[in-house]
Amino acid sequence: MQNVTTRARFGVFAAVGALALTAAACGGSSSSSSSTSSAAPAGSSDTASASAPVTSSAPAGSAVASGDGLTGSGSTFQLPIVQKWAGDFAAADNIKVNYQGVGSGAGILAFTAKTVNFGGTDAPMKDEEIAAAQKAGGDVLHIPIVLGSEPIIYNLPGVSKLQLDGPTLANIYLGTTTKWSDPAIAALNPGAKLPDTDITVVHRQDSSGTTYVFTGYLSAVSPEWKSSVGQDKEPQWPAGEGAEKNDGVAAQVKGTEGAIGYVELAYALQNKIPFAALKNKAGEFVLPSVESTTAAGAGAQYPADLRFALLDSASKGAYPIATATWQLAWKDPSKAGLSATTAADLKKFLLWELSDGQKSASSLDYAPLPADLVKLATDAVNTIAAG
């Protein structure tokens, strides 16, 4: 596996995660939408975490009453860091935060339906989604909270180092490159002993911001992918088998020899799944890391609504599948039915994430926001009418 050290952040959860992964692999199928996920990183809602011990007692997807804390749901990409922050924020300010990783698409729907106080997404809302939300509760703010990357994980016993480029990865997901010994893969890995094994393509089967970012990258590097599939949270996949959420993809790849998939970095590191170095626009083969994710964000331009992309950066040292992840908040929470207390608590949590919270981002292999983006996000939060 790559020379990447799994941080001590995972502690005793590695053994728990390994047992759960073994069970998932023996099952031979992806998780159903009603089951708990099997390979969630430490700090996820599926494992009691010392870093995020405080959540509200409200069930997933239900809003809590005023004074009982905050509820959010959505992106599993941001789940590890948000649940760590929930524990840290509760310890600092005695305000409970319950965040459930249900996928970005489901998070947008729950936010629009006003069954949670805030949403989480790696895919900025589409114009039509924003219009629907405006009818339900007024103007929506996109608040970026960290930058992250999506490694291409694989299961090839005996192959500890793998290099891929965008067009080859797109052809694998198009189903036109089907063997690990394919000449296109061999050419990118001179000297490697690639087996004549079938490639098992694994993708998300739920509405996913992680998928939105991944398919956006494939659209940027492959005209065929762009014209036949395109960028979407829930595309019509031309090949492969689906799994629920980031942890489901991690479990499916780890349990299937010859498999390939995409997840947020923490899920690969915790579960000790090898991942490929990906060729960037500068011609470098780069592994995902805090440093290469930070490089992808260097010099980015941000629109007023903070809906932006960092894909396929031309910056030196940049990992090409990098993204921000956002939280969704109402500009006037009272129009969405939030009490003054809940609105004030939410504003306080968002501002805490953008200040004290940034200090712990790298401990979970996210990149802190650049200083100019922190200022823009903070300015956006300060427009929330609270109190």
Residue 52: what pLDDT? 31
Per run of 10 residues, the mean pLDDT along the chain (length 387 residues) is 37 32 34 34 34 32 55 97 97 96 97 98 97 97 98 96 98 98 98 96 97 98 98 98 96 98 96 97 97 94 96 96 98 96 97 98 96 97 90
Pick from 348, 295, 367: which is nearest to 81 by CA?
367
Residue 338: what pLDDT? 96
Pick from 361, 364, 385: which is nearest to 373 by CA?
361
> SS in 3 state form for 111-128?
HHCCCCCEEEECCCCCHH
In the chain, what are the domains? 9-147+326-381 (3.40.190.10), 152-296 (3.40.190.10)
Distance, CA of 2 to CA of 55 (rounded, Å): 35
**DSSP string computed for 151-220:** -EEE--TT----EE-HHHHHHHHHTS--BTT-HHHHHHSTT-----PBPEEEEE-S--HHHHHHHHHHHH
Tokens 């992250």, located at residue: 148
Cα angle: 287, vertex 293, 296; to 5 degrees? 110
Residue 50: what pLDDT? 29
Chain-centre distance of CA 65, in angstroms?
28
pTM, whole model, 2 decimals? 0.83
Residue 368: what pLDDT? 98
What letters, b where the CB count within 10 A reaches 16 and e where it falls short, cover 165-190?
bbbbbbbbbbeebeebebeebeebbe
Q: Which helix (H) or strand (E) holds 89?
A: helix 79-93
> Dihedral sign, CA of 227, 230, 236, 237?
positive
In DSSP terms, 147 is beta-bridged to: 324, 367
Residue 299: what pLDDT? 83
Residue 387: what pLDDT? 65
**Longest CA span, the chain:** 64
